[in-house]
Amino acid sequence: MQYKVLVAAEFTGISEDSLIEVTGRLEEHGLEKIPTLRSTWEFACEAEDESDAKDNAIQAFVNVVRTHPCELGLVVQAGTSQILRRKKKFEA
């Protein structure tokens, strides 16, 4: 089944150049930037259920960001399931 997942992110301690690179790489990995909100993306994916879709979106996001030292806060929503909140810190 096809799901669309909303991902809102907050980056703390990331350089402007790294943020530009991360944004480009997220788009390469299928996350579409929502232009009306500063740090929000939509991720379309095939998944068994909404929970799996959210996990896929988090994994795609973390795989891109983990190479840049920063603290990342995420809020992830798909359909009517519970909103996930995650905070991760990436070291250089």
Name the pTM for this structure.
0.90
Domain boundaries, the chain: 2-90
Question: Quick one: average pLDDT of 21-28?
Answer: 95
Integer Cα distance of 14 and 16 in angstroms: 7
Class of domain 2-90: alpha beta
Rounded to the nearest 10°, the torsion over CA 58, 33, 44, 76 is 40
pLDDT grade for 69, boundaries at 50, 70 and 90? very high
Contact of 15 with 90, CB cutoff 8 Å: no
